[in-house]
Amino acid sequence: MRKEILKPCIFTRRQFLFLSSLGGMAFLSGQRNLSLAQVGTVEKMVYTAKDYSGLLGMEGFSDALLRNHFTLYQGYVTNTNKLIDTTHQMLKEGKASSPEFAELKRRFGWEFNGMRLHEYYFENLGGKGGLEKKGKLFKKISEEFGSFETWEKEFRAIGMMRGIGWTILYEDPLTGKLINFWINEHDGGHPAGCNPILILDVFEHAFMIDYGLKRADYMEAFFKNIHWKAVEKRLG
């Protein structure tokens, strides 16, 4: 019987770029163990994943769900760094007009926003108690929407829309107006120049472990844990 010798899977840079261009970046989704060191580049850690373990034990969110979510977030940070490094290398090598470069650049907004939106999301959780009614955020929301309840009704309704994405209360710095938005995936539909105030993740990974398809119950838990002081600080 022939003895099989397993060798580590090492791709050349050319193979890596070819694979990356296939089917929407198979490398990013299925080849997470493929490091840039293996393809001949030096990885620069521009971004570092933040530690949100302080949220563990939060009422209405199991530790299993949160730990899964943290791991997913860390993947976005890793891939954001990889894309920065890889496209920088390609630029230096005169490959910026290649389709491979274009596909990596198209991917970048998705990975970067996947990282940053999760940071906003985790950082607007972990609070106790409702929004202070004498504070500027409560007053501003009430003025913009007619009442706080009207704003909340629309925010929750957007969160219940079918599909995966984000529900975000944005502030338009040019007018001071507050607007609730639905954001597809991570990179589609963000209002240019606007300031994210409150962010709700409505990808299924954010709630299905604990709530199955009961997204409304997840949103109930989300509202109980909003860190309103952190949210209010985001106002311009």
Binding site for Fe ion (CB under 5 A): 201, 203, 206
Which CB atom, from 100 or from 201, has the smaller least distance to Fe ion? 201
Residue 20 CB, nearest distance to Fe ion (Å)? 23
Rounded to the nearest whole angstrom, what is the least distance from the CB of residue 34 to Fe ion in the complex?
A: 23
Q: Which of these, 160, 135, 149, lies nearest to 231 by C-alpha position?
A: 135
132's tokens = 């202070």
Contacts of range 31-38, beta carbons closer than 8 Å, 24 or more positions apart: 32/75, 32/78, 34/9, 36/82, 36/85, 36/86, 38/10, 38/11
Task: For the CB of residue 133, give the shortest distance to Fe ion in the complex, in Å.
Answer: 30
The residues, any chain, with a CB within 8 Å of residue 50's CB and separated by 6 or more, are 119, 122
Based on CB atoms, which residue is closest to Fe ion, 16 or 121? 121
Nearer to Fe ion, 75 or 135 (CB): 75
Minimum gap (Å) between residue 113 Cβ and Fe ion: 11
Residue nearest Fe ion, CB atom distance: 201
DSSP class of residue 154?
H
Taking the least distance from each CB to Fe ion, the nearer of 101 and 120 is 120
Number of H helices, E strands in the chain: 9, 3
Do 123 and 230 touch, CB atoms closer than 8 A? yes
Query: For Fe ion, which is the closer residue by CB, 134 or 162?
Result: 162
Nearest distance in Å: CB 44, Fe ion: 25
Residue 147 DSSP label: S
